[in-house]
């Protein structure tokens, strides 16, 4: 049904009666294909038309440009999340409508098959099955050809043309059944055994040359070992042995008391093909399991690599945040102070601009250090900053206007290098947060204990301001850095309404 603007209302019954002229019918299908429905509408994938009913096979939540070709290739811009269904306008009433309904259902099944086997794994499964079917057909044709040629050369047609014709047809039919699907392996095996024993007995008692299935029987034994389940395969072993030896006994070629010849016949014609099939199937299953394990291992390696890359990106983001946030915050504060001081105190403006210059140079040094680490080179021998540079860091913050009181206890200079860098970055972020969010002097203490290092920072904050209410990147970075060494972070307002954050990091974890 067409809407007021000429858009197709897909999913609403589209009624077309006999009174509509041919021009309206021709205009309907293009409008269905060119309509650009809203995301909540249904997009037509195919149409099946009858004089009174318009069938539309549709799918929900598919981009308007998606068609059957892109659905089969799996290259659509958006995945199909809806359920493919058939929209029918009214109940079928005529034979023509029933034909159209059947065609639409066949189309729906085809679409379902496309969606089921559209993935690489499904298409690969189809290719493997087709290859196995072709191989089975070639083997069956070869077995039927060889067995029928042997029957023709045995002189059976000269002795009795009807018997020869019956044997050729029977053997050919049973051998061609070897091309049937694996689910029929048991029935084909039974047919081969019965034909081999019964035909040998009938031919021998009628004085005709005895010639039965040989190649087909070997192939049937192989199929029984390769395709049957464990219980059915075990049942097939004595059945194949009976068929191999029973045919010789029924034909009179093997005496019932000659157990050595019976055993050789059972093993060569019945058990050996079964063992070959069983071994081949087991080896194929083992190889498939190894391939599956290798695929799983590769997926796990890729997942581990993705996690490592994600962790590395987070580490780089934390370092860049610490460097840029600290120095840019100082630059911003000094730039504002310089702007205010230009009108009345040129000396103060000069000092602020000098601080801006120093902060920008320090930021560039830190950025170059990070880039050298990312590129894997450090020609100048620059090391990552540690607690030895804590005084320079505090001086930068003081120059930005924050009064900082620092207390250190213990041998902080003897920290492991990795922990030294982490502690420096944490202190840098703490002072940057105090500079940005604090409203008064800050107090920083770094205590070295025998088993851990404690970092504590306090500063007053305005009643309406809460430092972690910003983007949280600073506190998240502190928490992640502490987690690397099994540390803990505790923050919040204390009873005196001061902002307090405490970081505890075990030294042994470094």
**Cα angle vertex 391, ends 387, 394, to 5°?**
110
List pLDDT tens digits, range 3-46. Answer: 433 333 333 333 344 344 444 444 444 433 334 444 333 334 44
235: exposed, middle or buried (C-beta count within 10 Å: 0-12, 13-18, 19+)? middle
Q: What is the mean pLDDT of residues 183-208?
A: 81
In a domain, 354, yes or no: no
Clarify whether residues 503 and 418 are in a common domain: yes
List pLDDT tens digits, range 453-469. Answer: 999 999 988 665 554 44
Clarify whether residues 167 and 233 are in a common domain: yes
In a domain, 434, yes or no: yes
Residues 396 and 362 sit within 8 Å (Cβ to Cβ): yes
Q: What is the mean pLDDT of residues 313-335?
A: 69
Of the residues 68, 87, 118, which one is the last residue of a structural domain?
118
Clarify whether residues 509 and 389 are in a common domain: yes
List pLDDT tens digits, range 223-272. Answer: 888 888 888 888 888 888 887 777 767 666 565 566 777 778 778 888 88
Clarify whether residues 104 and 134 are in a common domain: no
The domain of 40 spans 22-118
List pLDDT tens digits, range 428-485. Answer: 888 888 888 787 889 999 988 888 899 999 998 866 555 444 556 678 888 888 888 8
Clarify whether residues 388 and 506 are in a common domain: yes
Average pLDDT, rounded, for the chain: 70
Clarify whether residues 443 and 391 are in a common domain: yes
In a domain, 371, yes or no: no
Clarify whether residues 187 and 249 are in a common domain: yes
Clarify whether residues 52 and 149 are in a common domain: no
Clarify whether residues 108 and 31 are in a common domain: yes
Of the residues 227, 254, 281, which one is the last residue of a structural domain?
254
What are the DSSP calls for 212-256, one per residue?
--SHHHHHHHHHHHHHS-HHHHHHHHHHHHHHHHHHHHHTTSS-T
**Per-residue pLDDT, 489:** 92
Q: Residue 183: CB partners within 8 Å, gap ≥ 6?
A: none
Predicted model pTM: 0.42
Higher pLDDT, 7 or 141: 141
Of the residues 64, 94, 118, which one is the last residue of a structural domain?
118
Clarify whether residues 91 and 198 are in a common domain: no
Q: How far apart are CA 270 and CA 237, in angstroms?
A: 7
Q: For the stretch 129-156, what's the b/e string if a residue is b when 16 or more beta carbons lie within 10 angstroms of its beta carbon? A: eeeeeeebeebbeebbeebbebbeebeb
Distance of CA 177 to the CA centre of its chain: 40
Q: How far apart are CA 358 and CA 346, in angstroms?
A: 18
The domain that holds 408 is classified in CATH as 3.30.565.10
Q: How many domains does the chain have?
A: 3
Clarify whether residues 107 and 166 are in a common domain: no
Residues 419 and 507 sit within 8 Å (Cβ to Cβ): yes
**Per-residue pLDDT, 457:** 92
């Amino acid at each position: 049904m067409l809407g007021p603007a000429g858009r197709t209302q897909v999913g609403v019954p589209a009624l077309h009666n006999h009174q509509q002229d041919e021009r309206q019918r021709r205009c309907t299908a293009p409008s269905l294909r060119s309509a650009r429905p809203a995301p909540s509408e249904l997009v037509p994938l195919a149409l099946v038309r009858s004089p009174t009913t318009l069938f539309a096979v549709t799918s929900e939540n598919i981009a308007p440009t998606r068609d059957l070709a892109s659905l089969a290739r799996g290259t659509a811009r958006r995945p199909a999340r809806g359920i493919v269904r058939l929209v029918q306008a009214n109940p079928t009433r005529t034979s023509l409508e029933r034909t159209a309904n059947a065609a639409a259902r066949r189309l729906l099944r085809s679409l379902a098959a496309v969606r089921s086997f559209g993935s690489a794994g499904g298409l690969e499964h189809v290719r493997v099955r087709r290859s196995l079917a072709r191989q089975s057909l070639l083997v069956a044709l070869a077995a039927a050809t060889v067995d029928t040629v042997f029957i023709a050369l045995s002189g059976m047609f000269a002795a009795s043309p009807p018997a020869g014709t019956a044997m050729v047809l029977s053997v050919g039919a049973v051998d061609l059944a070897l091309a049937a699907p694996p689910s029929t392996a048991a029935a084909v095996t039974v047919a081969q055994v019965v034909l081999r024993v019964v035909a040998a007995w009938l031919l021998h008692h009628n004085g005709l040359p005895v010639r039965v299935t040989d190649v087909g029987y070997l192939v049937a034994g192989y199929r029984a070992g390769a395709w049957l389940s464990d219980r059915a395969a075990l049942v097939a072993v004595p059945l194949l042995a009976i068929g191999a030896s029973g045919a010789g006994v029924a034909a009179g070629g093997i005496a019932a008391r000659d157990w050595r010849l019976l055993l050789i016949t059972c093993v060569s014609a019945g058990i050996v093909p079964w063992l070959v099939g069983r071994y081949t199937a087991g080896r194929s299953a083992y190889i498939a399991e190894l391939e599956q394990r290798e695929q799983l291992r590769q997926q796990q390696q890729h997942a581990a690599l993705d996690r490592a890359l994600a962790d590395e990106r987070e580490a780089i983001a934390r370092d860049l945040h610490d460097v840029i946030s600290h120095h840019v915050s100082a630059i911003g504060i000094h730039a504002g102070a310089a702007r205010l001081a230009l009108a009345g105190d040129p000396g103060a403006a000069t000092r602020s601009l000098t601080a801006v210059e120093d902060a920008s140079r320090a930021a560039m040094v830190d950025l170059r250090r990070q880039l050298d680490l990312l590129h894997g080179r450090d020609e100048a021998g620059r090391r990552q900053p540690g607690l030895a540079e804590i005084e320079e860091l505090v001086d930068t913050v003081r120059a930005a206007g924050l009064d900082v009181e620092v207390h250190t206890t213990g041998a902080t200079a003897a920290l492991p290098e990795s922990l030294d860098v982490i502690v420096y970055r944490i202190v840098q972020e703490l002072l940057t947060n105090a500079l940005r969010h604090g409203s008064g002097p800050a107090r920083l203490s770094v205590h070295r204990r025998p088993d851990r290092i404690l970092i504590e920072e306090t500063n007053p904050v305005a009643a309406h301001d809460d430092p972690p209410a910003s983007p949280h990147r600073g506190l998240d970075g502190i928490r992640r850095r502490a987690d690397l060494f099994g540390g803990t972070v505790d923050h919040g307002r204390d009873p005196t309404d001061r902002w307090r954050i405490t970081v505890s990091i075990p030294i042994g974890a470094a």
